[in-house]
A and B are shown apart, each in its own frame.
Chain A
Amino acid sequence: MTTDRQQSSSSSDPEPDRPETALSKRIVQWIDDRTGVIQILHRILDEPIPGGSRFAYVFGPALLFIFVLQFVTGLALALYYVPSPLTAHISVSYIVKEVAAGSFLRSLHSYGSSAMVVVLLLHFLQTFLYGAYKGKRELLWLAGCVLLLLVLGMAFTGYLLPWDQKAYFATSVGTNVAGQAPIVGEWVRRLLRGGTSMGTLTISRFYVLHVFVIPFLIVLFVTLHVSLFRKAKPAGPIRGSESDVPARTELFYPNQVLKDMAFALVVMGVLGMLAHSIPVKLGPIANPADSHYLPRPEWYFLPLFQWLKYWEGPRAVIGMVIIPTILVALLFLLPFLDRGVERRPWRRPIPLGGVAIVLIGLLWLGIRSRVDDARDPSTSGQLAQQQKEEDKYFHKPFQPYRSSPSSESYVPARLSEQAMKGKAVFDSHGCAACHGPAGIGGVIGPSLTNIAGKYEPSQVVALLKNPTARMRAGGMVPPRLNPDEVVALVSYLGSLGTSSDPAWTTFMTEPLIADSADANPGASAWPSKPRGSLLLTVVFERKDATGTNPGAQIFQSHACTACHGEGGVGTQRAPALINVGNKFSAAELKHLLRNPTNKMTEGGMPRPDLSESELSSLVSYLRDLRPAHAAP
């Protein structure tokens, strides 16, 4: 009997095979002669495992398997995903709701990231308990620690990409945590986000990290990790005598390969079943203005999330940065600290105790976080509400995004006549100064895109009349509008983004105004319309608190107060206009209003749409502005 190596590399087989087998053998032979692939295979498969194959050794190969799985599913998702705030969420929605097998593959990718963390933990535990970092294996261990951080980095960067509520807020918190680092913190935070706030550049950066940079580094470090492992040779079991271990030594193939394969099959089976029966949800699109949203990270970041709750004030840096850094440093330095030859964990009480304390602590924090959420009724209520909204969005049929390449990029393709009027109202009342052109969101005001997905028309009307305290604090003023203008504006707002809600369809298609105008032109006609009953309680009036000064009215109705404050006293967003008359002549003011400087435009100053006489009134009002206490 020959060994496999000799047998397969021998050119002449003693038994003549059937022709087709002979052909396949000849092909293999032909390739091998040119590549030496069989020898390479033997080098890989015939590695001796001291003490024989074990299930304890399956976690490393399983990690490699999950990485390949993540690579393949990620590649598939990238065929449809488009990274930008305008497109990220809708393209994921498309993958999940329309594309064949899209939901399954996304779920597989998402559950795969959890599996990666679980198996990584098991791999760590096995290596740690077996003391397998000892005996000139420090670099092998360090490469593994880097891989641990890279995997967590993958999880963190991938989480943002769907750009739903959960993704947005969890990443918002995550990047702020990074910002706590001493000295470089703010710098790191802005670098990660690509600016001070989360937006376009944040997605681009996270996408590049998630899809190019970190995977490349993982491949690099996996190669390093595996080749260092092959150089160091498997550490073998912790029990057994000097003579016993070598005697039970097996080759990697077939028994260890079988065990690895069996575990991979279990992992694949569990992930496949989960992905098939409990698809990963996609929530509504990120809404930065939603101050009620309670972000909760993925389970493996929960302990860290909970940990941060206990640190406040100037001590926060200890809990948020110093302690985690020390723990990570200890992890990296483990083979340098635990240097004895003793590998049995019960003879290494200090490392064992340390790791046990940290793991139990993490577990406790994680459970604690869940318990805290469940105990607080308002929190659990809000979380349940979020869950409901997520389910609702997830089960809504897919609504394509409307855009038109020929018109301005963000404006929906078709605006009804009503909505066109609303657009005029939106533009002339300076809404765009804060909410951005076509309501895409600006530095000051949140995006209004897809507001129809979040509120009923009646709610939008109500919010316009009575902004919430938070909206007011942000500078939102109730616009002075007549009912026609309100309906037009709300129609327009409803057309920003897409909604299949019947309430909006009715609101936007009913010729509500035409009818009521016929019946009784004016404010009172509108609420009496039965269809508009939901609007009954809301009547907008031109209430001229500022008296009859036409300039003051313009100042109010064009929402100048939103940034410059009531009576032009100024806010943190825009300078005071009091005494502006001493600085500029009427002609200069007019010119500035017609042609705002770059500095003004950057601050959000719009070019108000005013007639010449309106402009004159406004300028004379502005020149007369005096501090309130100085007024007679």
Chain B
Amino acid sequence: MEGDVKCGEVSVPGKTRRSFLGVLLGCVGTLMAAAVGIPVVRLIFYPLTVKSKESDWVAAGTLAETADATTPLRRTLQLELRDAWQETAAEPVVFLTGTGGDIKALSAICPHLGCSVAWNDQEEQFICPCHGGRFAPDGSHRSGPPPRCLDSLETRVVNGKVMVRYQQFRPNVPYREVTS
């Protein structure tokens, strides 16, 4: 080794060689880190790549029921949900308001930060128990921090049954963006 110098009895390679080797080792190290790191990152980020399947139409109630109701009807939907390696039943809550042709299904999930809103009979409005958001019977925003109205879900009437397609929306933005 030409650039070597003697330092006591310990031989030390020259400075250029040492820094060249440093770069080489850095490259090999990076390569090996990438060989494991990239798969690990892919594995960690896998949930972002999973598309949630379009939810089916499920029955939420009958036309007759909504015609009789004076306050929004609270209904629990029966949904099948794929949760990682298992299929489970989810039971989201919706409120049916309005009658006949302009029937509306409102998601009970508050568009502020996702708590479940409840109907308050005395005040005749929806109240979110977390941060006090208030919504009119038709779901429109009355007061409190929520940036938009209660999210209304797609509905259609089949043989006198009110069918709903359940979706979830991005919280705390002034527009509606379907997340699943």
Contacts from A to B (Cβ < 8 Å): 1, 3-4, 7, 48, 69, 72-73, 76, 79-80, 87, 90-91, 93-94, 98-102, 104-105, 108, 246-247, 249-251, 253-255, 257-258, 261, 264-265, 268, 272, 398, 400-407, 413
Contacts and interface: CB of A to CB of B under 8 A. Distances in A.
Given A90-B85, A90-B86, A101-B46, 9 more contacts: A4-B15, A80-B84, A91-B85, A101-B43, A249-B9, A254-B17, A261-B25, A400-B86, A405-B88
B40 A401 contact: no
B32 A264 contact: yes
A91 B44 CA distance: 15
B86 A72 contact: no
Nearest to A402: B87
A272 B49 CA distance: 24
A413 B89 CA distance: 7
B18 interface: yes
A257 B24 CA distance: 11
A79 B43 contact: yes
A250 B36 contact: no
Given A3-B7, A72-B36, A99-B43, A413 B18 contact: no
Contacts of B9: 246-247, 249
A406 B90 CA distance: 9
A297 B12 CA distance: 49
Interface in B54-86: 80, 82, 84-86
B142 to A, nearest CB: 33
Interface residues of B, number: 38
Contacts of B88: 402-405, 413
5 contacts: A93-B85, A100-B43, A108-B39, A265-B32, A400-B86
Contacts of B89: 404-407, 413
B42 A101 contact: yes
B15 A265 contact: no
B25 A257 contact: yes
A4 B18 contact: yes
A401 to B, nearest CB: 4
B42 A48 contact: no
B124 interface: no
B10 A48 contact: yes
Given A3-B7, A4-B15, A401 B39 contact: no
A413 B87 contact: yes
B20 to A, nearest CB: 9
A72 B32 CA distance: 13
Contacts of B39: 76, 101, 104-105, 108
Contact of A272 (B13, B21, B29, B35): B35
B177 interface: no
Contacts, number: 110
B91 to A, nearest CB: 7
A105 B28 contact: no
A188 B25 CA distance: 47
B43 A401 contact: no
A73 B32 CA distance: 13
A79 B87 contact: no
B85 A94 contact: yes
Interface in B121-142: none
Nearest to B24: A258
Contacts of B24: 258
Contact of A1 (B5, B22, B29): B5
B36 A69 contact: yes
B85 A400 contact: yes
Nearest to B49: A100
Contacts of B91: 406
A587 B143 CA distance: 68
A230 B33 CA distance: 27
Contacts of B13: 254-255
Contacts of A101: 38-40, 42-43, 46
A481 B15 CA distance: 88
B49 to A, nearest CB: 7
B179 interface: no
B80 A413 contact: yes
A100 B45 contact: yes
A407 B91 CA distance: 12
A403 B86 contact: yes
A356 to B, nearest CB: 35
B159 interface: no
Contacts of B7: 3
Nearest to A68: B36
B40 A72 contact: yes
B169 to A, nearest CB: 23
A254 B21 contact: yes
A272 B25 CA distance: 19
A405 B88 CA distance: 7
A569 B36 CA distance: 63
Contacts of A108: 36, 39
A250 B10 contact: yes
Closest 7 pairs (CB-CB, A-B): A101-B39, A94-B85, A254-B21, A401-B86, A101-B42, A100-B42, A100-B46
A452 to B, nearest CB: 16
Contacts of B18: 4, 253-254
A590 B78 CA distance: 42
A3 B12 contact: yes
Nearest to A268: B32
A404 B83 CA distance: 11
A401 B5 contact: no
Nearest to A257: B25
Contact of A102 (B28, B29, B43, B45): B43
Residue from B28, B31, B86 having most chain A Cβ neighbours under 10 A:
B86
Contacts of B25: 254, 257-258, 261
Nearest to A247: B9
Nearest to A243: B9
A261 B40 contact: no
Contacts of A257: 21, 25
Contacts of A79: 43-44
B2 to A, nearest CB: 13
Contacts of A3: 7, 12
Nearest to B83: A400
Given A76-B40, A100-B46, A100-B49, A261 B86 contact: no
A87 B21 CA distance: 48
A176 to B, nearest CB: 31
A268 B28 CA distance: 11
A69 B38 CA distance: 13
